[in-house]
Amino acid sequence: MTELEAGRADRLAPVRSVAALQRYRDVLIALIAFAVLASLPLFTDSKALLDFVIRCSAYGLFATSLNLLVGYTGLTSFGHGMFFGLGAYSFGLIMQKLGLPIPVAFVATLAITAVVATVIGAICVRLKEIYFAFVTLAFQMLIHSTILSWASFTGGDQGLRGGIPRPAFLGINLADHVHLYVASCALLILGLLAMRQIAQSPFGYTLRMIRDNAARASFLGIDVWRAKLTVFVLAALFASMGGMVMALFVSGAYPEFAYWTISGEGIFINMLGGVSTFLGPMVGTVLLLLLNDTVTRFTEYHGIVLGVVILFFALGLRKGLLDFVAEWFSQRRGAGEGR
């Protein structure tokens, strides 16, 4: 905001303040959400509820980051779970083998993820649609197989056992359940806020242009390949964050974290919650975990129930839950203005 811009502010002012207001609004919502979540342990002793929120944090970060690819860029990755697994394993291994402070391990894991995602992304984002989906899936299988067969390093099909050391730092002791809970909530909220910023930045609109019409975007001077690679790496970072939350939660890392079904669940969550709104995947995460927990309690055939739910959303609503709600609201508003 220079002096010069301030000079011709009258026409620009309203728009600029709208953009600024949106940002403040998002931060405000995030603060309120965090305050509500963080104060939950004051009102309840239910360990199960706190565990549920921690799992929602891990999966929510993962699913929302997948939506940056699927919903915003039109890149349907079937291998996004590899970064969830990579995050969990890198973090666990660093803590077990090197015993670094947790924040250092956290940053180091993000760095490792960035490097791996850049290499894999550089190969994948040249491809389109189904080819992209399959090659990402192939890389997922590759990472999973590596974890299984490199047993001396990764523990093979047993996973990282013996627990992940969680030394206290800055007065935060993640071995304590409530501390872990609050830290997970903080990571979730910060991650969501960062992803929201990405989605609403000029880069976020570049992604939408690529999703709608990549060829046209390149005729506007946009380097489509570079933009796709950038979002691929950014999304991987947040998925990795989710993996780290998971590793902290279970105090270990298991090959299932890197199996393709994690990616499948991510896609499923996005279908449940909807990809046209930012919070759709978060809603989907809560729905899926609720479904999982309740259905598995009543029947061993939970796969059938989940399948029916998928069919209902895919064939019945033809969109995710939050898509449905958002559409309903905009239609009502449209009808209200029209009359």
Residues that bind other proteins (CB under 8 A): 1, 5, 11-12, 15-16, 19-20, 22-23, 197-198, 200-206, 208-209, 211-213, 215-223, 226-227, 230
The residue type found at 311 is: L
Please identify, using beta-carbon distances, which residue of 6 and 130 lies nearer to other proteins.
Answer: 6
Least distance to other proteins from the beta carbon of 178, Å? 33
Please identify, using beta-carbon distances, which residue of 116 and 227 lies nearer to other proteins.
Answer: 227
Least distance to other proteins from the beta carbon of 12, Å? 5
Least distance to other proteins from the beta carbon of 59, Å? 24
How far from the centroid of its chain's Cα atoms is residue 95's Cα?
23
Please identify, using beta-carbon distances, which residue of 40 and 222 lies nearer to other proteins.
Answer: 222
**Rg of the Cα atoms in the chain:** 21
> Which residues does 163 contact at the CB level (< 8 Å), separation at least 6?
251, 252
Please identify, using beta-carbon distances, which residue of 213 and 261 lies nearer to other proteins.
Answer: 213
Please identify, using beta-carbon distances, which residue of 24 and 301 lies nearer to other proteins.
Answer: 24
Least distance to other proteins from the beta carbon of 212, Å? 4
Least distance to other proteins from the beta carbon of 222, Å? 5
Least distance to other proteins from the beta carbon of 215, Å? 7
User: Long-range contacts: 177-181, Cβ < 8 Å, 24+?
Assistant: 177/47, 177/50, 178/41, 178/50, 180/54, 180/248, 180/249, 181/40, 181/41, 181/50, 181/53, 181/54
Q: Tokens in use for 322? A: 């939050």
Least distance to other proteins from the beta carbon of 8, Å? 8
Please identify, using beta-carbon distances, which residue of 12 and 35 lies nearer to other proteins.
Answer: 12
Q: Tokens in use for 150? A: 């490199």
Q: Tokens in use for 52? A: 């549920």
Please identify, using beta-carbon distances, which residue of 176 and 212 lies nearer to other proteins.
Answer: 212
Please identify, using beta-carbon distances, which residue of 238 and 249 lies nearer to other proteins.
Answer: 238
Least distance to other proteins from the beta carbon of 233, Å? 12
Please identify, using beta-carbon distances, which residue of 217 and 248 lies nearer to other proteins.
Answer: 217
Least distance to other proteins from the beta carbon of 47, Å? 38
